[in-house]
């Protein structure tokens, strides 16, 4: 995780996203209308790590790495991905995402479509870990 101040982000569980898709499909709104869909609240990477750790049954210890070092490591990872022709899991784009704040204003989707998220951070983390385990990815 990037060193420095905590970064906040909005998250959306697929169940809430599907609910929003279905509501948008049935709504009387102009074609091309844009709606931001996210769960309740904004979370820090620390909170996300804690929720995933709880779901995995572990206690994560954050490793804070200065952003310039993360970019240097990611540049090497990007070069390796290019060299091997295989997509990487770690990249400069991922560092840019983690080093910023990613927040969505969900007021419009609530007002116009009546969509209210139902899956919180801990419930979503538990469901995600369960799916990954069942799929054999963990």
Answer whether residue 50 is part of any domain: yes
Answer whether residue 23 is part of any domain: yes
Please state the domain count of the chain.
Answer: 1
Q: How far is CA 92 from the centre of its chain?
A: 16
Q: Nearest Cα to 6, choosing from 54, 53, 70, 64?
A: 64
Answer whether residue 82 is part of any domain: no
Under 8 Å CB-to-CB from 90, ≥6 apart: which residues?
A: 73, 74, 77
* pTM for this entry: 0.81
Instruction: Tell whether the model's pLDDT for residue 53 goes beyond 90.
Output: yes
54 pLDDT band (50/70/90 cuts)?
A: very high
Answer whether residue 55 is part of any domain: yes
Paired tokens of 126 = 């538990």
Answer whether residue 19 is part of any domain: yes
Q: What is the pLDDT of residue 37?
A: 94
Instruction: Tell whether the model's pLDDT for residue 92 goes beyond 80.
Output: yes
| CA 104 – CA 24 distance, rounded (Å) | 17
- Domain membership of residue 52 as a residue range: 8-64+100-128
Q: What is the pLDDT of residue 57?
A: 96
Answer whether residue 13 is part of any domain: yes
Q: What is the pLDDT of residue 23?
A: 94
């Amino acid at each position: 995780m990037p060193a420095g101040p905590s970064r906040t982000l909005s998250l959306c569980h697929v169940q809430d996203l599907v609910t929003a898709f279905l509501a948008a499909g049935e709504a009387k709104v102009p074609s091309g209308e844009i709606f931001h869909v996210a769960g309740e609240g904004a979370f820090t990477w620390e909170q996300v790590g804690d929720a995933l750790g709880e779901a995995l049954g572990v206690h994560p210890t954050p490793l804070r790495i200065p952003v310039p070092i993360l970019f240097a490591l990611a540049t090497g990872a990007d070069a390796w991905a290019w060299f091997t022709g295989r997509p990487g899991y770690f990249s400069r784009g991922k560092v840019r995402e983690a080093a910023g704040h990613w927040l969505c204003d969900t007021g419009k989707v609530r007002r116009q479509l009546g969509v209210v998220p139902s899956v919180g951070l801990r419930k979503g983390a538990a469901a995600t870990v369960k799916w990954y385990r069942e799929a054999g990815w963990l």
